[in-house]
Structure 1
Amino acid sequence: MPSRPVDVDAAGVRVDLSRDYDPVAARLPGMALGTRHLAGACTPAAAGWYREGARHARLPAPVDLCPDADAASARAVALLRELTAHGVAVDWTARCHDGCHGDGLFTHLYPPTRIDGDPDGTATAGWRNAFFPCRCVHRRGPGFVEVRDRRSGSLEVVTIDEPQHLAAVAAAAEGVATDLVPAEVRRDLVGARLVVERAGHLWWLPTRAYRWPFPALIV
């Protein structure tokens, strides 16, 4: 049963930005870029911060990963997707109470500093050790979206070219109300682990390939 839609734009995310991820360098004059309160689209915001010189971000509030996460955490995950895509290091805390951190759904995002709900740190260490840029990445072509997904450990390639599916992918980048997406499209995208349903909205998970960190055939 889909969760009840909420006004996700009313859920802000606080972000502290810096030009450097090294704590010592970040304390030097001119390195801090200040605190931002994201209340709009994540994609242009993250791109703008990167152009300003941001290479490190800190999310002070924990980000819930579980299916009952609120709108603020859902938007924070979308922001993490965009920051990861731009190569920005992120200091953040994940929070999980039902063990969902173990399914690998979010392990293509920049690893959290810790996971509340992972008392021995095993999941946190596994996430950090397995992470690499473009672990689950998509690129757009004329009339299709290709996803290259290595979250399971092996490469899975998914090509999306049906008009309804492409429309849902575009809308889910910033969150689209679940009931606006046809049930069969929602089932396909959720089943492929390309979207998650949070706060009554669907959210796109793969990062964008703004540039290749390795030769393309390796990714």
Structure 2
Amino acid sequence: MTTPMETTIELPVSAERTEYGFRLDADVVLGAEPLADVRFLAFLRECQSAALTVHWSGSVAPGTPVGALYHLPPPTALAGALSDALAAWTRTYRYGVCYYRRGPGFVQVKDARVPGATARFILDHPCLLSVFLLCLTPCDEELLDCEQREAASLLAEENLLWNTRGQLVTLPTLMRRWPIPFMGV
């Protein structure tokens, strides 16, 4: 399934197109299959960028750092003993919590996923910038050279890149539409 977004993302589960987005037909299991994880997270990110809603449910494998995902649409139900994680995700989620904007030769990122600890980044080092942009489409870490792997590690430390067993994807959404009031983000 493709959508009119910056990147072409394949959805790892079947979905029904709704008036304002998508409703997933199957539960998603985050943390079980790395390639499926990064494809799904890229799908959520691109839908968020295009202001499309996503209704999904599923489960999360133990040890999966869901706090890094609080800027993406939360599940409507989360199976297992993660009711606190679902409540925190639902409470924290809002449009514009973690986004990027592109300029000539740089990317500006604003990250407010942790309340009271907003971070801003300017990615203008060529290697950091190229890895950030490369991983907008899910990428295997094995395809990166040594310098790119170091850049990926730095981006992952700041939760700007998701790395699950060598599968990488960029997390911040592209800010395409500014909310009203615009100072809300």
TM class, shorter-chain normalised?
A: 0.7 to 0.9
1:216 deviates by: 4.2
Q: Pick from 37, 45, 67 the counterpart of residue 81 of structure 1.
A: 45
| Superposition map of 1:147-166 within 5 A | 147-153=109-115, 154-166=117-129
| Superposition map of 1:101-180 within 5 A | 101=65, 103-118=66-81, 121-153=83-115, 154-180=117-143
d(CA) in 1 for partners of 2:131 and 2:38? 17
1:56 deviates by: 2.8
AA in 2 matched with 1:152: V
What residue in structure 1 maps to residue 153 of structure 2? 187
AA in 1 matched with 2:24: L
AA in 1 matched with 2:36: A
For residues 25-47 of structure 1, the C-alpha deviation after alignment (integer angstroms, 9 at most, x for no partner) is xxxxxxxxxxxxxxxxxxxxxxx
Q: How large is the RMSD of aligned CA atoms in angstroms?
A: 2.2
1:167 deviates by: 1.1
CA contact (8 A) 1:13 1:75 kept: no
Matched, 1:208 2:170: no
d(CA) in 1 for partners of 2:92 and 2:10? 34
What residue in structure 2 maps to residue 69 of structure 1? 33
AA in 1 matched with 2:69: F
What residue in structure 2 maps to residue 14 of structure 1? 14
d(CA) in 2 for partners of 1:143 and 1:186? 18
1:215 deviates by: 4.2
CA contact (8 A) 1:105 1:193 kept: yes
CA contact (8 A) 1:138 1:208 kept: yes
CA contact (8 A) 1:139 1:208 kept: yes
d(CA) in 2 for partners of 1:209 and 1:170? 15
d(CA) in 2 for partners of 1:122 and 1:86? 28
1:208 deviates by: 0.6
Please identify the structure whose Cα radius of gyration is greater: 1
Q: Please, what TM-score do these two structures have when normalized by structure 2?
A: 0.83
AA in 1 matched with 2:173: T
Q: 1:88 to 1:212 in 2, by over 3 A?
A: same
Q: 1:81 to 1:97 in 2, by over 3 A?
A: same
What residue in structure 1 maps to residue 5 of structure 2? none
Number of residue pairs matched? Answer: 173
AA in 2 matched with 1:170: L
d(CA) in 2 for partners of 1:10 and 1:151? 26
3-state DSSP class of the match of 2:69?
A: coil
For residues 192-218 of structure 1, the C-alpha deviation after alignment (integer angstroms, 9 at most, x for no partner) is 111112363210000110011144443
Q: 1:144 to 1:178 in 2, by over 3 A?
A: same
AA in 2 matched with 1:190: A
- Listed as ranges, the gaps of 5+ residues in structure 1 are 1-8, 20-54
- Listed as ranges, the gaps of 5+ residues in structure 2 are 1-8
Q: Pick from 6, 22, 31 the counterpart of residue 57 of structure 1.
A: 22
